[in-house]
């Protein structure tokens, strides 16, 4: 089994709005995601799960507050440095696979290894291993339009894992899949966490939340506003974090 360092992800008073003067989506939110575990972000539609995931993954800049990777504040780094951090340390699985239709399956998998600067021969060997592990090695020379949705999501998972990343983010990675394909994706994320990685998944699937090491429920506030406040986070399954108004049972 490969040993992975993992990244401790921390949000401190994290606040986000899409533009100045727009309604606040997340307000003074505090949480921590631990290495070697799967943390699920769940809650109703519109609560800000995907937004929070994109903030933690450095795909969106915070309006206020901080995002820390292993204690280092990273939310205000220049775009180039944020991109290098993502390429070197993280993988991302999107709900809709997000494959390049003009490239073959194996080239799509190798894309993240290219950005991470991994030796091409090493990357190709790892890609072939992952495609075989997920039962799609026979599709390596096909284009995304020539494979099923379940196979496409497995390709996206291979792309996220090919660099053996310290942290993997998943935005509804099983949302469009049948039960068998969803189990393949979920089991792979659990195995990656068991190697030491930090895995953070946004999902509506309650069964996945129950199977996670830690669950963070982002709840809509009762004050009639559209923003999620620091006290709009319910923490369960023993994750040791607080929020703006103290941890709620």
Taking only the tens place, the pLDDT of each residue in 137-168 is 999 999 999 999 999 999 999 999 999 999 99
* CA quadruple 101, 151, 201, 165: dihedral, nearest 10: -70
pLDDT at 221: 55
Choose between 201 and 223: higher pLDDT: 201
Average pLDDT, rounded, for the chain: 87
pLDDT above 60 (res 133) = yes
69-78, 224-233, 234-243 — most confident range:
69-78
pLDDT at 99: 96
pLDDT at 23: 85
Write the pLDDT tens digit of every residue in 24-81.
888 899 999 999 999 999 988 888 899 999 999 999 999 999 999 999 999 889 999 9
pLDDT above 50 (res 249) = no
pLDDT at 236: 42
Q: Which domains does the chain have, with CATH numbers?
A: 9-95+166-236 (3.40.50.300)
pLDDT at 220: 64
């Amino acid at each position: 089994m490969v040993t992975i360092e993992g990244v401790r992800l921390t949000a401190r008073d994290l606040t986000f709005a899409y533009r100045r003067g727009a309604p606040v989506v997340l307000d003074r939110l505090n949480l921590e995601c631990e290495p070697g575990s799967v943390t699920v972000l769940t809650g109703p539609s519109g609560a800000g799960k995907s937004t929070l995931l994109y903030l933690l993954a450095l795909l969106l800049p915070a309006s206020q507050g901080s995002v820390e990777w292993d204690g280092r504040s990273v939310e205000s780094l220049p775009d180039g440095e944020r991109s290098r951090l993502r390429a070197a340390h993280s993988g991302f699985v999107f709900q809709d696979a997000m494959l390049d239709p003009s490239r073959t399956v194996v080239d799509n998998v190798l894309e993240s290894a290219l950005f991470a600067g991994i030796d091409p021969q090493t990357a190709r060997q790892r890609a072939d291993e992952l495609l075989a592990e997920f039962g799609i090695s026979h599709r390596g020379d096909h284009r995304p339009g020539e494979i099923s949705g379940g196979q496409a999501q497995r390709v996206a998972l291979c792309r996220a894992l090919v660099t053996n990343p310290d942290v993997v983010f998943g935005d509804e990675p099983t949302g469009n899949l049948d039960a068998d394909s969803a189990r393949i994706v979920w089991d792979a994320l659990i195995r990656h966490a068991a190697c030491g990685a930090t895995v953070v998944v946004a999902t509506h699937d309650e069964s996945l939340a129950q199977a996670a090491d830690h669950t963070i429920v982002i709840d809509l506030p009762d004050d009639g506003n559209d923003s999620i406040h620091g006290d709009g986070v319910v923490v369960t399954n023993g994750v040791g974090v607080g929020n703006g108004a103290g941890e709620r049972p």
